[in-house]
Amino acid sequence: MSTLKSTLVWLAGLSLLIQVAVAALPFDWFGDGEMPTLAPMLDQSKPAVVNIATRSHVRVQDNPLLNDPFFRHFFNIPKQQPRQRTKQSLGSGVIFDAKKGLVLTNNHVIQRADEITVSLTDGRSFQAELVGSDPATDVALIKIPAENLTALPLADSAQLRVGDFVVAIGNPFGLGQTVTSGIVSALGRSGLGIEGYENFIQTDASINPGNSGGALVNLRGELVGINTAIFSPGQSAGNIGIGFAIPSNMVKQITDQLLEFGEVRRAYLGVQMQDITEELAQAFEIESGRGAVVTRIVKNSAADEAGLEVGDVILSIDGITLANADTLRNTIGLLMVEQTIELEILRDGKEKTLTATVKETQKQVHQGPVHPKLAGATFGDIEESSPYFGKIAGIMVYSVKRGGPSWNAGLRANDIITSVNRQPIESLEDFKPLAHNGKELLLNITRKQRAMFLLLK
């Protein structure tokens, strides 16, 4: 009897599973006897996903002895011109606006590129120009002079649920356009150290090298995310079923600013925060892992004007619960400047609601006379909205003019300069006098959590 009952339960479960699967798949399986397929949706979506090839020229660092006049004269070595090597890479992109020829991709696909070539599924190729990029979220927008394009409609990524079916379309390993499928494994992934601002969709749809910048679509063929990274333990560069995509809602926020300003103007609340530890949770009588405590208020900032105080615990922003200080920084950094928000806080054991209007980060930028090789770049103190604030001592490179002396020397936006000629710097005031002295500048730079030296002559 127990065996019969088990069999009936198993059959009932199998029947329910089949009903769920059939309801989720975009076809009439039993109506005309056709095999299940995603082909009709992909036939509409694939023309909107493009291949991106980039070419950049990298200066090859010569042996310092070859630059010594005495050494060259003694060994009768003629003065050599700086050598360069050509670097090529492949990635993917998504047509965002068919009429204007706008294409979305990852910043890391096109950064430092001197040439960007976009290839369509119909065989056409175009040279692209950069509209704007945001390294902090790894989003870039480029433009091609093409007609008769197909764009993907944007979905509301806030409606995604864990378990939703998704399809990744891109150009893995340079093989050409390839499709993989899976589900949404998790939402709101952050704290991974991949980008400055993180709110990733995690998926088990295979995302391999070359898929970066490609599309993550739902079963209606709508864009839910831009594929950007994979998790690979050890030295492996392959997919193990943990991939990450930037949600379409975040992409839309960034794209709106890139179109209007050519860059992202980050919102600024004006606070320093600390995670709620077990001890602090007991002291504030709240659950651990919820909110962030204010440790400093910047004078005349949005936080100051809103009435925030040191010791307040910020629990949520516009109803979105905050898990920690990083969540707060991510949330604020993705808001539009002058946006008004509601802060739910805990003060003296009582919950309160404050209203704040976030401002644009005030950058202290140095654009005065500097070493000739630094021309075309702007420098400033590390802003409080930066993920490097309080973690690295140095100054930020805010922008670098493409093709200018600083660009050709190897300097890039968002580099952190930590020392000049082996002298540590902590602020713009430390940097200014050092940037004028000497015929050579040896810069110690942190770039994407990697340290390197850059010699400017």
Residues annotated as part of the active site? 108, 138, 212
- Judge residue 416's burial from the number of C-beta atoms within 10 Å of its C-beta, 0-12 exposed, 13-18 middle, 19 or more buried: buried
Please state, in angstroms and rounded to a whole number, the distance separating the CA atoms of residues 281 and 290: 8
**For residue 398, how many C-alpha atoms fall within 13 Å in the half-sphere facing its CB?**
18
User: What residues have CB less than 8 Å from 345, skipping those under 6 apart?
Assistant: 308, 312, 313, 314, 315, 351, 352, 353, 354
Helix (H) or strand (E) holding 279: helix 278-284
**8-state DSSP, 154:** B
User: What residues have CB less than 8 Å from 453, skipping those under 6 apart?
Assistant: 442, 443, 444, 445
Q: Beginning with the edge strand found earlier in the chain, give each strand of the sheet holding 139-143 in spatial order.
A: 125-127, 115-119, 49-60, 83-97, 102-105, 139-143, 129-134
User: What tokens appear for 122 in the block?
Assistant: 């119909």
**8-state DSSP, 54:** E
Number of other CB atoms surrounding residue 378 within 10 Å: 17
The number of residues in the chain equals 457
Please state, in angstroms and rounded to a whole number, the distance separating the CA atoms of residues 114 and 55: 6
* The one-letter amino acid at 188: G
User: What tokens appear for 332 in the block?
Assistant: 């604020």
Pairing of strands 215-217, 200-203: unpaired
Strand intervals (E) in 21-150: 49-60, 83-97, 102-105, 115-119, 125-127, 129-134, 139-143
Contact 283, 289 (CB under 8 A): no
User: What tokens appear for 29 in the block?
Assistant: 């399986």
Please state, in angstroms and rounded to a whole number, the distance separating the CA atoms of residues 410 and 455: 9
